[in-house]
Structure 1
């Protein structure tokens, strides 16, 4: 798709929600060896801001770069200029390397969808919020910058994993509110197994189980979460999980199975 970034027209699409990909008019652009691709990912995440030579080296190689790292940086920058071709501009500003004329398209699309989902949720439009969050989730095709190894990208991968899970939790909360608990119990079981110390997922699984008439299983989920937290961190569950546990024990009528919200 054509975009205007820093006054430059381009037809290069960049994706980072999964393996780094660059496409020109739908055809994938070869981006070179892994470290060259890591350099590109770091430059892209500066969003048009320059990054110093030392900053780029630290971001890609950490505190122990190879002896000939300056030659490698120059080689990779030249390789990226050739690969990206017309439109994107990778320049030296005097104080650092700057990449303009291109953006990370799937990150921009995700940001827009998540903002719209939040607005819909605040307006009480639960179904629309869930649909928008689902569309944002569909943009992911793996881990953030999957397969690229660089200190900066490792930190960004952790940050984006958290952002992805937060949106996923909000979507599943909406699905449960829409009366779709039965459809998402298995997904929540899988997510709790993958993220055993994430209390919000355990809480959502407990809620889904209660809404499908399985309060005893919900109590088992709580006990398993409590044990995991104690073993791993020496901590008790947080207030959200404890409060839901108390409500299950008291057989709170609000946790009983209810009719699904009809689809408009």
Structure 2
């Protein structure tokens, strides 16, 4: 469930301005969304927010937003977008040139910070054996998502971050589902796992959780069918066999491991 993030400092944030990136980029002042300008200007803001109080060089910003083939007048565009963002963000945030790079302070990606806090708390609860609380916290972290990361903004840096955060989101969801199965709630999550496996057919951890949930609901033959389907998909797409975790669970099902039998739900204290 952990994300291994390193958080920078923003030098203090504006109390009435909230920025969000877990979905379409938006900025709200006192709860009202403010216009952030054209798509590339919004992409510049998203890149600056993700620096978390660290400066980014002019070349680094151009590479992040336009990639290796920027337009000939890109310097004018950067200056135009930086000026536009200063006007849009208003008092509080400061977007400055340090002499070596652009630095955004006084504002941060608030939903990203909140998600990290919730995931860290969920990890601590899980490590303390508080599986129900861990699941609640992780679900609250999931509820912060409003769509894809920085949805709709086209920039090489943001495209890479979008993939990275999609992976993190799935990893947290897998941890939540594993906890629910361990708590005896497998029946409630079988259909969600079937949907997730269909959406991510080569993700072995999801297949493993589906097989485990099926076993815990008294459907070991369906679990074996799910394994065989995954085995075929992996062979056709990658030319590989299932990994050790899937093969081990498959073997346990075949030998009718009693630990895979349905178990009563764990009572919530």
CA RMSD of aligned residues (A): 1.1
Indicate whether 1:27 and 2:32 are aligned.
yes
Aligned twin of 2:60 = 55
CA 89–53 in structure 1, closer or farther in 2 if over 3 Å, else same: same
Aligned twin of 1:81 = 86
Aligned twin of 2:258 = 253
Indicate whether 1:17 and 2:31 are aligned.
no
The alpha-carbon deviation at position 68 of structure 1 amounts to 1.0
Indicate the SS of the match to 1:10: coil
Alignment match of 2:77 (pick from 51, 68, 72): 72
Q: Is the 8 A contact 1:17 1:106 kept in 2?
A: yes
Aligned twin of 1:241 = 246
Indicate whether 1:154 and 2:154 are aligned.
no
Distance 2:170 2:187 in 1: 20
Q: Is the 8 A contact 1:59 1:152 kept in 2?
A: yes
Distance 1:13 1:250 in 2: 55
| CA deviation map 1:100-124 (0-9, x unaligned) | 0011101110111111111111111
Distance 2:268 2:126 in 1: 17
Q: Is the 8 A contact 1:10 1:86 kept in 2?
A: no
Where in structure 1 are there 5+ consecutive unaligned residues?
A: none
Where in structure 2 are there 5+ consecutive unaligned residues?
A: 1-8
| CA deviation map 1:82-103 (0-9, x unaligned) | 1000011000111111100011
Aligned twin of 1:140 = 145
The alpha-carbon deviation at position 10 of structure 1 amounts to 3.5
The alpha-carbon deviation at position 231 of structure 1 amounts to 1.1
If the length of structure 2 is used for normalisation, what is the TM-score? 0.95
Distance 2:176 2:12 in 1: 37
Alignment match of 1:98 (pick from 79, 103, 112): 103
Q: Is the 8 A contact 1:61 1:151 kept in 2?
A: yes
Distance 1:9 1:221 in 2: 51
Q: Is the 8 A contact 2:86 2:94 kept in 1?
A: yes
How do 1:189-204 and structure 2 match up within 5 A?
A: 189-204=194-209
Indicate the SS of the match to 2:95: strand
Number of matched residues?
261
| CA deviation map 1:234-261 (0-9, x unaligned) | 1111111110000111111111111112
Distance 1:227 1:7 in 2: 53
Q: Which runs of 4+ in 1 moved over 3 A?
A: 7-10
Aligned twin of 1:169 = 174
The alpha-carbon deviation at position 48 of structure 1 amounts to 0.9
Q: Is the 8 A contact 2:12 2:105 kept in 1?
A: no
Aligned twin of 1:217 = 222
Indicate whether 1:109 and 2:147 are aligned.
no
Distance 2:109 2:42 in 1: 14
| CA deviation map 1:119-171 (0-9, x unaligned) | 11111111111111111111111111111110000111111111111100000
If the length of structure 1 is used for normalisation, what is the TM-score? 0.97
